[in-house]
Amino acid sequence: MTNFEISSAKVEATAGLSVRRHVMSAAILGVLILLSAVANGLWLKILTSVAIYTLTAASIALLYRRLGLVSLAQVAMMGIGGWVTLRLAHGTGLPFEMNVLCGGLSAGLVGMVLSYPALRMRGLYLALVTLMAAGGFAVLINVIQFPNGGDGFTGFAVRSVAYMPRPLIAQSDPAYLRYCAGVTALGFLLIRWHETTRPGRAWAMIRRSEACAISAGVNVTLYKVWGLALSGFLAGIAGGLLAGNLQLLDARSFPAGESVLIFALTIVGGAWHWFGAILTAILYRLLPAFLNDIGVNGNAAYIIFGGALIHALMSAPTGLAGQLSDAAMAIRRRLKRGRT
Amino acid sequence: MLAYGLFLLSGLALGALYSLGGIGLVLLNRATGVLNFAYGAIGAVGAMIAWQVLNWGGPEPLAWAASIGAGLLLSLAFGRLLAPGLAHREPVVKAVATLGFAIALLGLMNLIWSITPRSLSLTVDKQSVAVLGVRITGTRLLAIGAGIAITALTGVLLARTRMGLMMRALADNREVASVLGVPIRKVETTAWSVSGALAGFTGLLFGDLVRLDPTVLTFLVIPIIATTVIGRLTSIPVTFAAGIAIGIIESMLALYSPLTPFRVAAPFVVAIAALMWMQRGRYLTFAGED
Amino acid sequence: MKRHRSTIIAAGAVLALTSGSALAAPKCGLNNGTKATGQPIKVGAVVGQTGPDDFSASAKAAKAYFTCVNANGGINGRPIEYLIQDDQWNPEVAGLVAAKLVKDEKVVALVASGSFVEMGVNAKLYAAEDVMSMAAACAVSECFESKNIVSTNEGPLPSSVGAAQWAVTKLGSKNVICIGLNIPSVGQYSCGWTEKYMQSKGLSGSSILMDPASADMNSAVLRAVASGADTVLVNLPAGMAAGFLKVAQEQGIRDNFKWISSTPLYDKAIPGILGDHWAGVMHVNIELTPIEGKGPDATNWREVLDKYGTAQDKRDTFSQSGYLSARFFVDAMLKLDPAKIDRKSVSEAIRAIKNEKSDLLCGPYYVGDGDRHMPNHANMMVQIAKDGFKVVGECTGVDSAYLDPIIAQEKRLGIGK
């Protein structure tokens, strides 16, 4: 645990230069917008997936980094957000943004429900409770299915699919990529805003010691619940975006194993650095798609992927983002030394 | 009334499988602090190798040995070669790392054994007893018997032997145990081997009773984890009982038609409910690690 | 067919002169023995290869056929470049690879796709880009209810209804229980229409739907026993079906029921796996004609795979179906001016396919411009024997209200029986 705290302190110290951070995130967004104009059909889709799962990874990293909580149910949270988004899109004809927002809020509510166990447990037990929830969700969604334009509460009927409309301003694939990147950036700003204001300070105290936080007058329960709700909300938004990407969702995309996998990749990407979430999404969606595209057999890709996962967990305790940031710092130091 | 009896017995047979899987997971977790997500995959490799041996015309005892041996070796390989690199990490990280192993094993199995319908049949399938009109095959009796025997055996092992004492010491507090001179490597090697052998044995039974499909067997680990959650990852008798209870509940839900489609969720729902009940009134403010 | 035969004779003569190995040479396309060297025509396929099951047999058969066509004059001199993509049973990946094929590679059509997830995800893309998919291994309802997708196989609905229909007429079944998957576009779709068929005949039908991840086969068997049915229709993927039947054997309930199944059990490995217990008892519906058929297409299919495929390529129903999709596609392409082959002309040519016949199919194959397609809706029954399958029911048209729009379409298009 201690090496995390040290590295987190280090990150805080360096990333405190928030100007550089904003410049970098603006640069990433700029690159994405540029790419959306030149990328072909395949890469547009891959980058859209990466943008969406970046938000999911950020929601996992937020919980882990700020509250030390592990959620193995974030893909299920995406499913909840996606279900509500689809249900409203097919049932009400409200604009896309409203549907996604409601999807996010519903997942946020479920996140609040998860805070019930989270106030009583942590570590592996809490992680397993969320895993059980994810397992239950996988069964539930397999039975009720995602709305496809049918009638009734579930909005599902055995019939040909009705596709959910995309936002008015983002009908085409390139525009939808820019849209998703924009929403994800907003999500990052929301996280950043929380971290730099009162909730962030409260979370920091809770992370150190709950006793300490209470004695300082922090409402531990409130801020824990709030953290879980925020994380669920972000994952729910990501689920809504995913529904808009394919314009439908398939129950088979949400098995419990996926939630575990994306958590593992969040650790690999680096939960302690803000761009770790982007690396996570790249590993989760871009790497397999790339291997598939260059013709690596899917099963061989599984072996490579599994091996790389173990290797990365063993060799990079602060994640790839931590390694990158250490390397960048070393280079900077050397440059400085060279100058004098 | 007869219907209840039927589904009860059928649930007992299913529960025995859950229990057997759960015991191996708890045993390993107690001694090494690793919750092994690759347990299902290791068992699946064992079952596939056993199928291969039988398919080549090998004798059945050899198939059993191959399955158990393969499980032991794979588990030991992970435990000795990879797990030490993660020893200083949190339990959750150790657990998710094993998922990487599971994925790699699954890919390997599907590469070696192209996907096609297969089935295992063992001599014990052919014997059966009839209870209340339900026939219970020797394989299912074996699963129940093995569950009880292994629960009892591990109880004795942990309570009476020196190795068991060391395992308990390790489970309670690794740092203190190592200061006290517990040979951590030796204890862990034993735990990984025993748990791997159990995975191979369980995998073979699963391959026979559920179906011989690497993907299904690999991901069955998730409902099995439900039994260990109820046993708080430490209690083998509770895990055994939880497995049986979950199996019976899952089977009995088939009688109540509005819930029938959801009955596969029984392990998860039961685990959450049990955990919430056990944690009632607890509030985690000044608590320690977990 | 006549054109086909005359080219065969001509090509046979050429081959006999050039190679002397023409005896069992497969017949493909122009069949002139000349390697096609023109500008390649890109054709795609999306298959579910990595995942719980391998759905790539259809594309592998099509690949072998296209290789054979390319070695035999191609599409009037232009070879086919066949791009097979794996959707890994993941809807997102299915969207990716289809975008790659349709938008980046600009394939003129998709041929012999086989997947559980691809059709539902991509039907919209295919319609928007107006590219036709002549699929070959469909298992979900979406595949048969989309404007731009037409499959050579039948899917679970005609196969289950066909099995029930045969059991009612030949075995005197009065009450059928359908054991299916609880995936709505597969299980509810096929078992649901089987129940409707039974009701339409004044008989009774019910369903037991199982979760694909379920470890528990016992309770499905017990529920089947409790249902009061006289016939069990096993409508599950082969591996799961074998698991179900094993438990049924354990419980010794074989003789209490008549046993029928949809196509998945028509697999070479199944008689060996099920063993003697089910020989002569289990009846399986088959969507195409038997694998060991003696007709020209059945023979040619095997020869194409032997010469241009690999030993590992499965020789099953999906493989037959993929071969046929590819052959119908090539025949339609050969009618086009090779210089003017683009997506628009190809989609038109595919829609114009009408009354194609093959000994691998019970009925004629056609496409047409309808908003749904199911050209293949007549099937056969086989019985599991000790070491293989025995035909017990000849080609019969499936009798289901589901087919009403299809039959109306056929009337309009003038598809003759």
Q: Give the pLDDT confidence of A316-332 residue by residue, as tens digits.
A: 878 888 888 888 888 88
Please give the DSSP secondary-structure letter assigned to residue C259: E
Measure the CA–CA gap between C113 and C59, rounded to whole angstroms: 6
Torsion of CA B270, B273, B276, B278, to 10 degrees: -60
Of B55-59, B141-145, B149-153, B155-159, the range with the lowest mean pLDDT is B155-159
A135, A220, A301: residue with CB nearest B223? A135
**Residue B88: predicted pLDDT:** 83
The residue type found at B122 is: L
Residue B56 β-bridge partners: none
Q: Are C146 and C140 in contact (CB under 8 A)?
A: no
Measure the CA–CA gap between B18 and B228, rounded to whole angstroms: 10
Residues of chain B contacting residue C216, judged by C-beta atoms under 8 Å apart:
10, 14, 247, 250-251
**Residue B282: predicted pLDDT:** 67
C99, C123, C189: residue with CB nearest A42? C99
H/E element, B227: helix B221-230
B6, B261, B264: residue with CB nearest C222? B6
Q: Which chain A residue's Cα is nearest to C93?
A: A289
pLDDT (tens digit per residue) in A51-62: 999 999 999 999
Q: Which chain B residue's Cα is nearest to C218?
A: B10
Question: What is the distance in angstroms between the Cα of A71 and the nearest Cα belonging to chain C?
Answer: 23
Helix, strand, coil percentages for chain B (3-state, nearest 5) = 75, 5, 20
Residues of chain A contacting residue B108, judged by C-beta atoms under 8 Å apart:
299, 302-303
User: Token digits for B97?
Assistant: 């790392």
Using CB atoms within 10 Å of the CB of residue A191, give its burial: 0 to 12 exposed, 13 to 18 middle, 19+ buried: buried
A96 vs B261, more confident? A96
Q: How many residues comprise chain A? A: 340
In angstroms, how far is the first alpha carbon of chain C from the final one?
16
Residue from B12, B213, B225, B262 whose CB has the most chain C CBs within 10 Å, to mutate: B213
B10, B18, B119: residue with CB nearest C246? B119
C215, C226, C243: residue with CB nearest B14? C215
Question: What is the distance in angstroms between the Cα of B61 and the nearest Cα belonging to chain A?
Answer: 31
Query: Which residue is it, tokens 């645990």?
Result: A1
Using CB atoms within 10 Å of the CB of residue C14, give its burial: 0 to 12 exposed, 13 to 18 middle, 19+ buried: middle
**Is A140 close to B101, i.e. CB distance below 8 A?**
no
**Is B100 close to A116, i.e. CB distance below 8 A?**
no
**Residue C24: predicted pLDDT:** 61
Number of inter-chain CB pairs under 8 A, A vs B? 159
**Residue C185: predicted pLDDT:** 85
**Of the candidates C249, C329, C410, which has an alpha carbon nearest to the alpha carbon of residue C43?**
C329
- Tell me the residues of A at the C interface, defined by beta carbons under 8 Å apart: 40-42, 44-46, 49, 138-139, 142-143, 145, 156, 158-161, 163, 173, 242, 245-253, 285, 288-289, 292-293, 297-299, 301-302
Distances (CA, A) of B22 to B40, B246, C254, C389: 11, 12, 34, 42
Q: Are A162 and A174 in contact (CB under 8 A)?
A: no
Q: Which CATH class is domain C156-286+380-413?
A: alpha beta
**Residue C15: predicted pLDDT:** 42
Hey, is the C-beta of B6 within 8 angstroms of any chain C C-beta? yes
**Residue C374: predicted pLDDT:** 94
Low-confidence ranges of chain C (pLDDT < 50): 1-23
- The SS3 assignment for C42 reads strand
Q: What angle do CA A227, A233, A238 make, to 5 degrees?
A: 130
B162 vs C319, more confident? C319
**Predicted complex ipTM:** 0.90
**Residue B174: predicted pLDDT:** 74
- The B residues from 257 to 286 touching C (CB cutoff 8 Å) are 261, 264
**Residue A237: predicted pLDDT:** 97
For chain B, give the mean pLDDT.
88
Measure the CA–CA gap between B43 and B37, rounded to whole angstroms: 11
Measure the CA–CA gap between A253 and A237, rounded to whole angstroms: 16
Helices A256-269 and A298-315 meet at what angle, rounded to 10?
50
pLDDT band at residue A10 under the 50/70/90 scheme: very low
**Residue A336: predicted pLDDT:** 82
pLDDT (tens digit per residue) in A81-136: 999 999 999 988 899 999 999 999 999 999 999 888 888 877 888 899 999 999 99
Q: Are B194 and B186 in contact (CB under 8 A)?
A: no
Distances (CA, A) of C113 to A62, B183, B204, C136, C374: 42, 58, 35, 6, 15
A120, A310, A317: residue with CB nearest B284? A120
Q: Which chain A residue's Cα is nearest to B270?
A: A132
**Residue B123: predicted pLDDT:** 85
C211, C216, C269: residue with CB nearest B14? C216
B128 vs A6, more confident? B128
Hey, is the C-beta of B71 within 8 angstroms of any chain C C-beta? no
| The pLDDT of residue A65 is above 50 | yes
**Residue C18: predicted pLDDT:** 41
User: Token digits for B252?
Assistant: 């009995």
Residue C390 β-bridge partners: C383
Q: How far is CA A93 from the centre of its chain?
A: 27
Measure the CA–CA gap between C364 and C355, rounded to whole angstroms: 5
**Residue B1: predicted pLDDT:** 55
Count Cβ neighbours within 10 Å for each residue of B46-74 and write b for 16 or more, e otherwise.
Answer: bbbbbbebbeeeeeeeebbebbbbbbbbb
For chain A, give the mean pLDDT.
87
Residues of chain A contacting residue C92, judged by C-beta atoms under 8 Å apart:
45, 49, 242, 245-246, 253, 285
Measure the CA–CA gap between B36 and C130, rounded to whole angstroms: 49
Residue from B80, B103, B270 whose CB has the most chain A CBs within 10 Å, to mutate: B103
**Of the candidates B267, B94, B97, B75, which has an alpha carbon nearest to the alpha carbon of residue A124?**
B94
CATH topology of domain C41-155+296-376: Rossmann fold (3.40.50)
Q: In this structure, which long-range contacts are made by residues B161-170, counting pairs with CB atoms below 8 Å and at least 24 apart in sequence?
A: B163/B187, B163/B190, B167/B30, B167/B31, B167/B191, B168/B30, B170/B30, B170/B31, B170/B32, B170/B33
H/E element, C44: strand C41-47
Provide the residue ranges of all domains of chain B, joining segments of one domain with +. 2-276
Count Cβ neighbours within 10 Å for each residue of C85-102 and write b for 16 or more, e otherwise.
Answer: bbbbbbbbbbbbbbbbbb
Mean pLDDT to the nearest integer, A211-216: 84
Provide the residue ranges of all domains of chain C, joining segments of one domain with +. 41-155+296-376, 156-286+380-413
Q: Which chain C residue's Cα is nearest to B2?
A: C226
pLDDT band at residue A340 under the 50/70/90 scheme: low
H/E element, B8: helix B2-32
For residue A330, the tally of other CB atoms under 10 A from its CB is 10
**Is B251 close to C219, i.e. CB distance below 8 A?**
yes
CATH topology of domain B2-276: ABC transporter involved in vitamin B12 uptake, BtuC (1.10.3470)
